[in-house]
Structure 1
């Protein structure tokens, strides 16, 4: 033995993994927990004695697809980004979950790393921004309604004198005024906690109305790209609230691209399995399979405000009030959904996840 190797200390591997800062569990081929370290106890808020010997998904609630893999000896590896889990009465958290094989006996190591941008997913107990936005909106409601009535009256007068081409825009103005007036009426109830009336809606009707309003502004140098899932079912939501969400997000994307020649705003829809949420309203976990995303290839949100992005009065715009994204979060949450911000390569993405309408329910709009 050389002097070099003799100076390397020996390690107690059990002690090493016990003190490891990442939540780590060992499970057997049937998913039974054999070992947990201190970080796992802290993350789950459950003692080692209460976890060892139980099936992992009986302790940690997770999506069915993950449960099936952990119960199947044929799956020795798993990686899931931002998987939603919950333990006991605690609210859901999002983790990066990785499972790898260990040894020859079918045992597996499961590591759970809390997602860094969990605060950017609005849902569950995250509601302070929505309450503050509702209070601010309630104060402004009366002042906004008066000029809206004047705008609608002027548009109706113009409609009598314009040609067919101009009638399209006066009709749009009247429709937008009615929508905003209805939205303000709803916003006045936000601070009292009254929910938005939700029914089965066609998401594409809301997208079409929002995009008509945006395109009417004739923004230069901005391309709009649509990537839609044609088989998407009806959404359990509110048409006017959905239009407002999309208008805010698309407008923000366009403003972020100001002065950029290759600016693109992308609107996409998809059906996503696995995401669910418990809003604490007694209904239990609600699946949120409907995704609509608004992305732009602008410079993105400054790192220093990403964690507070959905709080009211947080903005980088010189003339901004910082209420747009707070209202988006409030409306999404009141429809039982979530909104998430992320930076994906050169794209800034906002993803709305909503529940599907129950089967057999007709559309409201």
Structure 2
């Protein structure tokens, strides 16, 4: 018996809970959140730092009956089927909620399991955004792009035969044709149904390339902050896609700061256990332990568009096209990953979660 017992390995229980796919929170006798795992962050769309130390029902909206029972230290157990809760951004979802006692000091474990429809919504939201964008791109490319070259050519011919006053209008026509062509080129990214080629890449190479391009624009009043994990393993991804993702996110962050003189854009990387997703491509759930985030201390995303943020044509910019974040979502999904938006205190954070390269192909990148 002693030989059998000695052969059983020891486990890091905190690591097990952190890696568990069920959203799990630890609360004390007063319902204050003490611990949150990665699955709970993903479900609630709220960062760990924004939840720990707060009363659980101030973070996760729930009916008065549940609040009263969680606030009662004598209530150690609770189960509710398809309970409606309100998560980050005010969105309502239905979950199976279970609370059980933990230890002898009145702490309790709260587990939140999305209903089947909600689980499908979480796993497929980015996929649906990509498919909707693809349909829109195919339609508009067919109807618009073909005549553009003829329109521009005709305008250029007219410019040779007109005076200075007429040239102003032909120049405007050519500029507008170029703008529409660029718009269509961006939209055609969505219509490509085949997956992009992915291979083990050093994440810091596209990060540095994107930052160099953005810094060349000399954003006034904006300071860049970097918080990199030097031991990050290789990512299974696409270099060019990652450059485009980071360019879009950092550019958006710079525009959100609006020329203020105390603006900060923070780029960070981290290895996080427990996050996985099923993209509906037949591969089952895929672990997404590698994260790169772009944060800014600007005013944040308006509440009325947060739920549709990654859909095409959703924007608050007067001259915006609403394609930047939709493209970010599609490229992340094409690499088997996801992108999340979180409002964390004064920070607006977009976090891209990606799969690690297979062990045989891994090398240790350096920032």
With structure 2 as the length reference, what TM-score do the two structures score? Answer: 0.58
> How far did 1:80 drift?
3.9
Measure the CA separation in 2 of the matches of 1:130 and 1:80.
Answer: 28
> How far did 1:360 drift?
2.2
> How far did 1:330 drift?
0.6
| 2:188 is the counterpart of 1:202 | no
> How far did 1:204 drift?
0.5
> How far did 1:193 drift?
1.9
> How far did 1:238 drift?
0.7
> How far did 1:227 drift?
0.5
> How far did 1:140 drift?
5.7
Check the 8 A contact 1:82/1:94 in 2, yes or no. no
Check the 8 A contact 2:126/2:329 in 1, yes or no. no
> How far did 1:192 drift?
5.1
Check the 8 A contact 2:199/2:357 in 1, yes or no. yes
Tell me which residue corresponds to 2:240. 240
Measure the CA separation in 2 of the matches of 1:346 and 1:78.
Answer: 21
> How far did 1:280 drift?
1.8
| 2:242 is the counterpart of 1:215 | no
Tell me which residue corresponds to 1:266. 266
Residues 109 and 271 of structure 1: is their aligned pair in 2 closer, same or farther, counting only changes over 3 Å?
closer
Count of matched residue pairs: 249
Tell me which residue corresponds to 1:14. none
For residue 273 of structure 1, give the secondary structure of its aligned residue in structure 2.
Answer: coil
For residue 359 of structure 2, give the secondary structure of its aligned residue in structure 1.
Answer: coil
Q: Which has the higher helix share?
A: 2
Q: Deviations over 1:191-240 (max 9, x none)?
A: 35211111111110000111111011111110011100000011001111
Tell me which residue corresponds to 1:327. 327
| 2:324 is the counterpart of 1:338 | no
Structure 2: which 5+ residue stretches go unaligned? Answer: 1-16, 26-33, 44-92, 150-181
Measure the CA separation in 2 of the matches of 1:94 and 1:293.
Answer: 28
Residues 98 and 291 of structure 1: is their aligned pair in 2 closer, same or farther, counting only changes over 3 Å?
farther
> How far did 1:283 drift?
1.4
Q: Deviations over 1:29-54 (max 9, x none)?
A: xxxxxxxxxxxxxxxxxxxxxxxxxx
Calculate the aligned-residue CA RMSD, in Å: 4.1
For residue 218 of structure 1, give the secondary structure of its aligned residue in structure 2.
Answer: coil
| 2:288 is the counterpart of 1:288 | yes
Measure the CA separation in 1 of the matches of 2:218 and 2:191.
Answer: 36
- Give 1:296-335 correspondences, 5 Å limit: 296-335=296-335
Residues 110 and 134 of structure 1: is their aligned pair in 2 closer, same or farther, counting only changes over 3 Å?
same
Q: Deviations over 1:50-71 (max 9, x none)?
A: xxxxxxxxxxxx975478x99x
Measure the CA separation in 2 of the matches of 1:274 and 1:307.
Answer: 24
Tell me which residue corresponds to 1:74. none
Residues 307 and 270 of structure 1: is their aligned pair in 2 closer, same or farther, counting only changes over 3 Å?
same
Check the 8 A contact 2:19/2:273 in 1, yes or no. no
Check the 8 A contact 1:309/1:325 in 2, yes or no. yes
> How far did 1:110 drift?
4.4
Deviates more, 1:273-282 or 1:321-330: 273-282
Residues 95 and 260 of structure 1: is their aligned pair in 2 closer, same or farther, counting only changes over 3 Å?
farther
With structure 1 as the length reference, what TM-score do the two structures score? Answer: 0.58
Measure the CA separation in 2 of the matches of 1:269 and 1:97.
Answer: 32
